[in-house]
Structure 1
Amino acid sequence: MQITGATALVTGANRGIGRHLAAQLLERGATVYAAARRPESVDLPGARVLALDITDPEAVAAAAAAAGDVDLLVNNAGISTGAGLATGDLDAARREMDVNFWGTLGVVRAFAPVLAANGGGAIVNVASALSWFAAPGAGAYAASKAAVWNMSNAVRLELAGQGTLVTSVHLGAADTDMMGDYEGPKTDPADVARVVLDGVEAGRIEVVVDDWSEMVKASLAKDPAEFYERLLRG
């Protein structure tokens, strides 16, 4: 996937990782649709701003119709409510799945024929290291991102015939509003965007951004008891 000369759409482009992705796409010579639920909050000179609530099927269909020249779709929009699963707010947990999984899948489904018509292109789904483990205070988020990861695997197979690259992105904490209360180390979102776009240009189907995520992925081949005992000890 060559970014120079590409036409990209980035969801959740008004802040955080999404804004950095959109800005760096522009810097690399792409045409960019910057989509957000509140389009007035997008501040990206040179971008084409689109109103898009990914949980609204009519809004998703309108975006696909308005951006019919897209050949790079970046699904970045997402939420984190902090809901647990066993005893947490079930409505909040459902909201995370509605946005992070169903909303993302809805955008994929709407833009798959657009990408096919434009030569195949690529889809980037921003998941998380929490696709591969769960942590206290992030049960619903982890479940939704695990769903995004395996959805990416499934869509990759389903769209292989039209030549669409599907890349899932996995990272730990980034220095964004979503992680504002987190006190541990955080990755600069500009660095996240750079690693993601480099991975897309290299044709990678999975981008693991940081050492923490690499460690979590490697732990999947081992007895999970060791990992979760360490997690519970802090």
Structure 2
Amino acid sequence: MDVANATVFISGANRGLGLAFAREARRRGARKIYAGMRNTTGFLEPGAIPVRIDVTDRSSITAAAELAADTNLLINNAGIAALIANPLAPDMEAQSTRMFDTNYYGVIRVTQAFEHILAAKPQAAIINVLSDIVWLPRPYLTPYAASKTAAWSFTNQLRFHLRERNVQVLGLHVGFMETDLTNGIDVPKASPDDVVRQTFDALAAGKSEVMADKGTAMLKGTLAAEMPGYITPPPGL
């Protein structure tokens, strides 16, 4: 599916990757861009219509879907992360609850609200923002990793379910990016603009997944190895 002339709804669009999606969609000639966010105050991005949505609040999701009923490209981008000491830390359960409510159940809630809208369109697509963390052991990100792994599994099931309804489902896997979410983490980071360009190119090519940086592509390539990356990460990751 091509972004040109599409009507796009992006959750978590007020900054970072979500804002990069909005800007690139505009550059590629999207007909309309809905920028979903929890607080629309002060958002003045040219060509983007701010829409209040909290992916943990079903009433706000329903209202957003009603407002944006002409959407034919849904981008589930909203997400949160937090660091913990290790997988057995005292706050592991509490942080996991937070991560799952937004990063997993939030994706489900928003997709449920938009499913009938997308399925009624001649051409439609969903992009789910995932992560290389599903294959990369990082104990300090355990709750985040678990939530994104669940979202990856959901994306795979959703793709198969919607295939006969002519809704393309694209999973975006990427490592750390230069966004507010990764401030304070000293690791190599990808450019959100570059990630978005790769993602929209993959969507136009009809792909089901995109590995948007070299490290993520390397990790995915180890999955069939005797010592896959989720057991022994490749050097440099």
Q: Which category of TM-score, normalised to the shorter sequence, fits these structures? A: over 0.9
Corresponding residue of 2:16: 16
Within 2, Cα distance between the matches of 1:51 and 1:131?
A: 29
Once the two structures are TM-superposed, the CA of residue 82 in structure 1 deviates from its matched residue by 1.6
Give structure 1 stretches of 5+ with no counterpart: none
Residues 1:73 and 1:225: Cα distance change in structure 2 (over 3 Å): closer
Within 1, Cα distance between the matches of 2:234 and 2:211?
A: 20
Once the two structures are TM-superposed, the CA of residue 230 in structure 1 deviates from its matched residue by 4.9
Q: 1:14–1:43: 8 Å Cα contact kept in structure 2?
A: no
Taking structure 2 as the reference length, what is the TM-score of the superposition?
0.93
Within 1, Cα distance between the matches of 2:174 and 2:22?
A: 18
Corresponding residue of 1:173: 176
Alignment of 1:203 onto 2:206: yes
Give structure 2 stretches of 5+ with no counterpart: none
Aligned length: 234
Once the two structures are TM-superposed, the CA of residue 68 in structure 1 deviates from its matched residue by 0.5
The AA in structure 2 aligned to 1:205 is S
Cα-to-partner distance string for 1:122-170 (whole Å, 9 max, x where unaligned): 0000000012233121101111111111111100111112100000000
1:1-234 → structure 2 map (5 Å cutoff):
1-30=1-30, 31-83=32-84, 84-89=86-91, 90-224=93-227, 228-230=231-233
Which secondary structure does the structure 2 equivalent of 1:98 belong to? helix
Which secondary structure does the structure 2 equivalent of 1:228 belong to? coil
* Identity value in percent: 35
The AA in structure 1 aligned to 2:225 is K
CA RMSD of aligned residues (A): 1.9
Within 1, Cα distance between the matches of 2:228 and 2:66?
A: 48
Q: 1:85–1:93: 8 Å Cα contact kept in structure 2?
A: no
The AA in structure 2 aligned to 1:69 is D
Which secondary structure does the structure 2 equivalent of 1:138 belong to? helix
Residues 1:212 and 1:231: Cα distance change in structure 2 (over 3 Å): closer
